[in-house]
Structure 1
Amino acid sequence: MKNTARSVSCSGTSNFDLAQQESRRRFIKLSTAAMGLAAMPGSIAFAANQLTSPSAVGLQLYTLRDMMTVSLPATLKLVAAVGYKELEFAGYFGHKASEVKTILHNEGLSAPSAHIGLAEFDKGVNSVIDHALEVGHQYVVIPYLTEEQRGTGIDVYKKLAARCNVIGEACNKAGLQLAYHNHAFEFEVRNGQLPYDVLLNETDKNLMSMEMDLFWMFKANKDPLTYFRQHPGRFKLWHVKDMDEAGNFADVGTGTIDFAPIFAQSALSGVEHRFIERDKTDDKLKTIQQGYKAMSKLLA
């Protein structure tokens, strides 16, 4: 049997509780800083807000998942203060759909998309649809496949494609759109085929769109523009993520990816919503500020 007791400091406070307290303190500092920046004319946030863009700058909230765990309402207030208008959810952290919808409305935000694990669709497609519609989502995105879900061989992806057509049809009937978010493993050759190509070719384009993660495309040495030309209009959502010289995550606009040629082909790709994301960052406020600033310039 595992020892489930938490370690306790000399003061009687558990290490877990101390970590939680420290997390809350850091969150409060970040929230206070963001509010201050939004109010200061010389701030980065204010400057970014002065940029006019043809479409809204979005944020994937997975970037701030630790903060969302502490307080979803305060996190959304923070991102609104930075200037974001669109969000993509990756979990609701115990909040009901009606609560999330109210918070979004109060902060002047919208959430056109949400990541929904394949296991949630297994539990019931209709419950996923109902929740998404109540929040106000337009897209529900399969975000990731576990190693178990990936299995071996190409037939796994052929079966997934058939399943996505069924899920996508149910979503369409309700006024939603299913999408699939890539990593790099979809570009590992299986039985002479690329899983990503199978998902593109064996799903109905009207039943499943693609959310292209630009970081993972470059990580897999694939050219987004080639896919735009081969499947025009298919890539309704993007994750805008940068890469440093070592191949790791970087704040958007500070890394090696040249986003300008990609953004220039937005019409060809069919993109409707773009979300800044960084999977791992030590300075969350800096990351979302820099991302907002960089994408605003790309969209101007």
Structure 2
Amino acid sequence: MITRRNFLINTSLAATAVLALPSLAFSMDKKEIGLQLYTLREELPKNVKQTLEKVAASGYTAVETYGFSIKDQFWGLSPKDLKKILDDNNLKAVSGHYNLGSYLYDGNTSELIAAIEAAKILKSEFLTVPWIDEPFRKNIDDYKKIALRLNQAAKMCADAGLKLAYHNHDFEFQKYNGITGYEILLKETDKNLVYFELDLYWVVRSGNDPLQLFKENSGRFKMWHVKDMDKKNQALNTEVGSGLIDFKPFFKEAKQSGMVHFFVEQENNFARDSFQSIKTSCDFISKELL
């Protein structure tokens, strides 16, 4: 029988354990596992409803969208229609990758405005910039211009109740006169408006250390891509827990990173099929990392 006295004692002991083990506190309140839907880019256009049902059945509760355009919306579905399918499967689109057309290069806001509206309908928290085309990132001045555009877009997002984030690959870590493009983006953007989605695979692939980035830029990395590296061919991905990357040290420092959401992503090299791969990754994270 649970008495009030036993309840208070047990509650006190649990609180003491959380204070003694910060990583335990993280594991207790960070149960949400997300999926970057680009992982299923071959399946989604064929049947969005069925694909998202399988995502939910694999253990995911959050997703990050991709592929929005003014013309085709989300694989032929309006944001409103996509939101209904997500709701039916208890999935939340907490972030989305939006290419924003030519905004980063010429300031044309038409696709940015459409992306903001789509993200609002989905009730997303973050609107994320996924990529910079190669011709527009050749030097320090290019990156400073991108940073300026990100600041401007972030203000528009904030006015709409959204947050702006930037997702990296490996090219941002190329140096120009001793400084990387990523350092410029971190330095030249408003830390109160522009956040970063750290792709852990690409950081490791570029020869950099995510833990060092956490230390030097505490709180800036609100989201992660958790994507593992194949043991035989580092240019390929694999299921989380099956590759070269040890994610445990990163999750232990999640608080320093500022991470509030993370998404599994696997772009290629599926063990059997993509649905089995996302379940394998979800199961590993649930058992070993949270």
Name the TM-score class by shorter chain.
0.7 to 0.9
Check if 1:85 corresponds to 2:61. Answer: yes
Check if 1:113 corresponds to 2:103. Answer: no
After TM superposition, list the pairs within 5 Å mapping 1:187-202 onto structure 2: 187-202=173-188
- Post-superposition Cα deviations, 1:236-283, rounded to whole Å, max 9, x if no partner, equal 010000012231211100001110000000001010111000111342
Report if the CA contact (8 A) 2:224-2:259 is conserved: yes
Report if the CA contact (8 A) 1:153-1:191 is conserved: no
Please state how far the C-alpha of 1:69 moved relative to its aligned partner.
1.1
**How large is the Cα RMSD of the aligned pairs?**
1.6
**Aligned-partner Cα distance in 2 for 1:212–1:130:** 25
**Aligned-partner Cα distance in 1 for 2:266–2:177:** 32
Who is 2:9 aligned against?
none
CA 285–125 in structure 1, closer or farther in 2 if over 3 Å, else same? closer
TM-score of the pair, normalised by structure 1: 0.80
| Counterpart pick for 2:145 among 130, 143, 159 | 159
Please state how far the C-alpha of 1:142 moved relative to its aligned partner.
0.6
- Post-superposition Cα deviations, 1:205-228, rounded to whole Å, max 9, x if no partner, equal 111100000000000011001111
| Counterpart pick for 2:218 among 232, 247, 271 | 232
**Aligned-partner Cα distance in 1 for 2:30–2:249:** 17
Who is 2:242 aligned against?
254
After TM superposition, list the pairs within 5 Å mapping 1:68-217 onto structure 2: 68-91=44-67, 92-119=74-101, 121=103, 122=108, 123-150=110-137, 152-217=138-203
Who is 1:284 aligned against?
274
**Aligned-partner Cα distance in 2 for 1:53–1:253:** 22
Who is 2:285 aligned against?
295
**Aligned-partner Cα distance in 1 for 2:100–2:114:** 13
**Aligned-partner Cα distance in 2 for 1:165–1:298:** 37
Please state how far the C-alpha of 1:52 moved relative to its aligned partner.
7.9
**Aligned-partner Cα distance in 2 for 1:131–1:163:** 20
Percent sequence identity over aligned pairs: 40
Report if the CA contact (8 A) 1:242-1:253 is conserved: yes
- Post-superposition Cα deviations, 1:72-113, rounded to whole Å, max 9, x if no partner, equal 111101101111100000122111011011111111110100
Deviates most, 67-76 or 244-253: 244-253
Report if the CA contact (8 A) 2:100-2:111 is conserved: no
Letter aligned with residue 51 of structure 2: T
Please state how far the C-alpha of 1:149 moved relative to its aligned partner.
2.9
Please state how far the C-alpha of 1:144 moved relative to its aligned partner.
1.1
Report if the CA contact (8 A) 1:215-1:240 is conserved: yes
Please state how far the C-alpha of 1:147 moved relative to its aligned partner.
1.4
Deviates most, 289-298 or 96-105: 289-298
Please state how far the C-alpha of 1:53 moved relative to its aligned partner.
6.8
CA 86–267 in structure 1, closer or farther in 2 if over 3 Å, else same? same
Structure 1: which 5+ residue stretches go unaligned? 1-50
Who is 1:242 aligned against?
228
Report if the CA contact (8 A) 2:34-2:263 is conserved: yes
Give the secondary-structure state (helix, strand or coil) at the position aligned to 2:45: helix
Please state how far the C-alpha of 1:120 moved relative to its aligned partner.
6.6
Report if the CA contact (8 A) 1:59-1:87 is conserved: yes
- Post-superposition Cα deviations, 1:141-160, rounded to whole Å, max 9, x if no partner, equal 1101121232x211100000
After TM superposition, list the pairs within 5 Å mapping 1:56-67 onto structure 2: 56-67=32-43
- Post-superposition Cα deviations, 1:3-41, rounded to whole Å, max 9, x if no partner, equal xxxxxxxxxxxxxxxxxxxxxxxxxxxxxxxxxxxxxxx
**Aligned-partner Cα distance in 1 for 2:181–2:287:** 34
The count of corresponding residues between Structure 1 and Structure 2 is: 249
**Aligned-partner Cα distance in 1 for 2:31–2:221:** 16
TM-score of the pair, normalised by structure 2: 0.82
Structure 2: which 5+ residue stretches go unaligned? 1-26, 68-73
Who is 2:16 aligned against?
none
**Aligned-partner Cα distance in 1 for 2:35–2:269:** 14
